[in-house]
Amino acid sequence: MASTRLQRRPGSSGLFPSLSREMDQLQANIRRMFDNPLAADAFATMPQPIGWMPPVEVREWANEVTLTAELAGMDAADVHVQLDGDVLTLRGEKKGERKEGEEGSEYYLVERSYGAFQRSFGLPSSVDPEQIRADFDKGVLTIRMPKTAHARTRGREIPVTGKK
């Protein structure tokens, strides 16, 4: 198997040195894959995608709409909820526990996601924006959005008239 020496690109030590390192590593992994396509670790050190999206559930009850987001490994201080008009935005960052260059360890599989996220949701007109509250407990963000008094009264029977 041929070995390839990585060469530093001009200007790679400038504004984004970690991005340059990741690009160099990606290039090396692709070369290694083509040199030996059956190697078990061909993509073992492949950089993970930047960013992630936490899974959410939205439920409607008679008196409120709830949104829960799974944010395992995060603290309440790392999560921000903002209301702008009728758009609710969740924003935050899950900080990685990986340290580059740790002695004596090598990652073979990384399934956990890290990085910044942002998700926005349009609110139904039945939600009272002044009564929205958010709670964070054991890695789960729960946003309770009570409905307005007008929205709580569900429908009514409409008489149908017809001609004889």
Is the pLDDT higher at 75 or at 98? Answer: 75
Asked whether the CA dihedral 31, 34, 35, 37 is positive or negative, the reply is positive
Give the pLDDT score at 90: 93
Backbone angles phi, psi at 102, to 5 degrees: -65, 130
Q: Is the per-residue pLDDT at 143 higher than 70?
A: yes
Predicted TM-score (pTM) of this structure? 0.58
**CB under 8 A, 24+ apart: contacts of 61-64:** 62/152, 62/154, 63/146, 63/147, 63/152, 64/144, 64/145, 64/146, 64/147
Q: Is the per-residue pLDDT at 145 higher than 90?
A: yes
Q: Is 82 exposed, middle or buried (0-12, 13-18, 19+ CB in 10 A)?
A: exposed
- For the chain, which residues make up each domain, given as ranges? 12-47, 48-152
Average pLDDT in the 114-134 region? 90
Distance CA 142, CA 90 (A): 11
Per the listing, tokens 């001609």 go with: 163
Arch. (CATH architecture) of 48-152: Sandwich (2.60)
Average pLDDT, the chain: 77
Q: Is the per-residue pLDDT at 15 higher than 70?
A: no
CB 36 within 8 A of CB 4: no
| Most confidently modeled range among 22-31, 48-57, 65-74, 91-100 | 65-74
Q: Is 35 helix (H, G, I), strand (E, B) or coil?
A: helix
Q: Specify the DSSP element, H or E, that contains 90.
A: strand 87-94
Q: Is the per-residue pLDDT at 1 higher than 60?
A: no
Average pLDDT in the 80-89 region? 92
Name the DSSP letter for residue 32.
Answer: H
Q: Which of 58-62, 75-79, 82-86, 93-97 has the lowest mean pLDDT?
A: 93-97
Q: Which of 3-7, 89-93, 99-103 has the lowest mean pLDDT?
A: 3-7
Q: Is 67 exposed, middle or buried (0-12, 13-18, 19+ CB in 10 A)?
A: buried
Distance CA 78, CA 51 (A): 15
Name the DSSP letter for residue 129.
Answer: G
